[in-house]
Chains A and B, each alone.
Chain A
Amino acid sequence: MSVVWTDTVKEIAGTKMHVSRAGSGRTVLVLHHDIGTVDRLPFYDALAEKYDVLVPHHPGWGKSERPQWLRHPRDIAAMHTWLLTEMGAKDVSLVGLGFGGWIAAEMASQSPTTFHRLVLVGAMGIKPPEGDIADQAIVSYIDYPRSGFHNQDNFAAVYGDISIDQLEQWDICREMSFRTAWKPYMYSQTLPHLLGGVRTPALVIWGDDDRIVPISAGKAYVSALRNATMTTVAQCGHFAEMEKPAEVAKLVTDFISA
């Protein structure tokens, strides 16, 4: 059964946000990585076979407009919550990927009973007790995404011959990452203290070779949340849903539908 995606634009906080949507059933909001998202991924299709999947572009990323006043992932979280309200979505499950995981955690901290399930994949947002989150400022536009894959063949499978358009997009994504997450870099000093109130069951998924966010941060998320478990994915880097789409999709769907 093939999945049909439709694209719409919603005005949220004075900003035109791009949203891709497919599937039916329970609503799942996917929050993409700091490097943006390609239009279609096997992982998104797998989720859309079972759920009504929303993949917005964060404000300032991809096809969404940039609000000049935006300063923090908590602002992005508020805009996504507003988007869900605008779309009349209820009982939503959040799937936060990397930087999107930080946004998902912020959303959950502000709405501790609203969401059905919370999935965090290689999530930024908490200072790793061991190691540091890799600094994208120091490496090139190609080396940073590469470093998020355990096997470079999987990077090539997603990105192929990297176009100039893709390079431009990565620079824009990096600029937005700087605008919203420069210092402290890619984490909040306060978020871990606020996750204890979240009632939503949470699943934390981490690639065993995540060289961007140390796995100690995943363990910190599990400690901070009151109802969370952790699973690692073997032979897998930071961009777990792109490197191991079938495996990660199964973990997510088993968890959401449980």
Chain B
Amino acid sequence: MHMMYFTEQPMSAYDEQAGLAYGATALNFSNSYFDPNEGSRLYNEYLEDYLLAEEYGADGIMLNEHHNAPFCMQAKTNVFAAILAATTKRVKIVILGNPLPLCDNPIRMAEELAMIDMISKGRLVPGFVRGGGQEQLASGVNPAYNRERFIEAHDLIQKIWSEPGPFRWEGTHYQHRVVNPWAVPMQKPYPRVWVPGVLSKETIVWTAQQRYPYIALNTSIDHTREIWKQYSDTAAENGYTAGPENFGYLIRVHVQDTEEKALQNARQFMWMQGEFTGLAHPVWANPSGYFSPSGRRNFVQFATGRAVNPRGAPTFEEQLASTMIIAGTPAQVIEKLKYVVENTRPGIMGIWANDGNVSREDRQRCIKLLCGEVMPAIKEFGAKLGLKDPFEANAPVHLRYSTDLKAPVKAAAE
């Protein structure tokens, strides 16, 4: 198993009352409430936390990217990935993910990632995402072409990494006359791409078609099993059998010496008024054209206040009960995580451990207990279940590099 440490890098030093008074804490909640002195302090503390996670044994550091909101300070994931490339020695640097459609120049993205891979001496996992609706609005990128841009940008980056330049690209959304970057990744055939997601069936299917691992982001156990089924069926249709090396799972876990303290800090997972990306109008998260047409009818009712949030809005207690949040002492956490691992069988696990206003001291204690005690126990448990990560399994980086393909198997008609 590959186990990695994650935090959103919350901008915890913002005026929560001002956000509540404004009625939104995303997209257009004024950045006059962003204090760069506090931002500087927090970035440097988070960097220390990452080094601590490496020191105490995490296999990887997971990074992400969001814009215009206090819940996440990672306005450019490649910046922190570059910093980690230079300041860490052993951990995988796992970007989950670069929002590809925000990219007006995929060549530039390929260059940056290649530089990071080389500086890190081949430790980069450059995951890609579609990016949430708010990210499209914050970046001025057209949400109606989000999926098309994602696929085309990926295909261009894949070509850059697997074929020599110079070549020319005359695509639908990207046109480049001289594709020939003098920055090429060390890892061959190219760095492993992992794809995180939550809801979209099309993303699951596309990811399985590439044979890229899919990372389910804190979905319920039942929903996770549905995702694995969809992925596995698509895998079979493409001639391979999906295994733990194709699956990853992100879960919120906070560990402390006492259960009481762990629960108290775990409440910080609800710090953005319960909606982890901040209070926002539904049409910001899902601008028209962004989601699948099959979800349109339900969504328009939710967006006009006529129906409940399709993602649900479970309380803290409900999330504890359903193991979407786990909090406790190392022994308690290990027991609950074993249950989750047994029922989801991932080869990759992201532990989202610290959020909101958890103090620096408590964050670091959590990291030490998590990486030093919990992760080794879960990895040992996972090994017994045969849960290999893609590195251990020597899984092909992409479907095209497979050496084990069989005749495609169509899923049984539903």
Contact = CB atoms under 8 A, between A and B. Distances in A.
Interface of A: 137-142, 162, 164, 167-168, 170-172, 174-175, 177-179, 182-183
29 contacts: A137-B137, A137-B284, A137-B287, A138-B27, A138-B28, A138-B137, A138-B281, A138-B284, A139-B283, A140-B283, A140-B304, A167-B300, A168-B296, A168-B300, A171-B288, A171-B296, A171-B299, A172-B288, A172-B296, A174-B288, A174-B289, A175-B289, A177-B288, A178-B143, A178-B144, A178-B288, A179-B144, A179-B145, A183-B140
Interface of B: 27-28, 137, 140, 142-145, 281-284, 287-289, 296-297, 299-301, 303-304, 306
Main secondary structure on A side of the interface with B: helix
Contacts of B28: 138
Nearest to A174: B288
Contacts, number: 61
Contacts of B304: 140-142, 162, 167
Contacts of B306: 164
Q: Is the interface of B mostly helix, strand, loop or mixed?
A: helix
A138 to B, nearest CB: 7
Given A139-B283, A140-B283, A178 B300 contact: no
* Interface-central residue, A139, A168, A174, A182, by most chain B CB under 10 Å: A182
Nearest to B305: A140
A175 B144 contact: yes
Nearest to A170: B300
A71 to B, nearest CB: 10
Nearest to A185: B140
A178 B142 contact: yes
Contacts of A178: 142-144, 287-289
B143 A140 contact: no
Given A139-B283, A141-B283, A167 B288 contact: no
Nearest to B28: A138
Given A167-B304, A175-B288, 8 more contacts: A137-B287, A138-B137, A141-B304, A142-B304, A168-B300, A170-B300, A171-B296, A175-B289
Contacts of B297: 164, 168
Contacts of B282: 140
A141 B300 contact: yes
B301 A167 contact: yes
Contacts of A142: 304
Contacts of A168: 296-297, 300
A144 to B, nearest CB: 9
A224 to B, nearest CB: 26
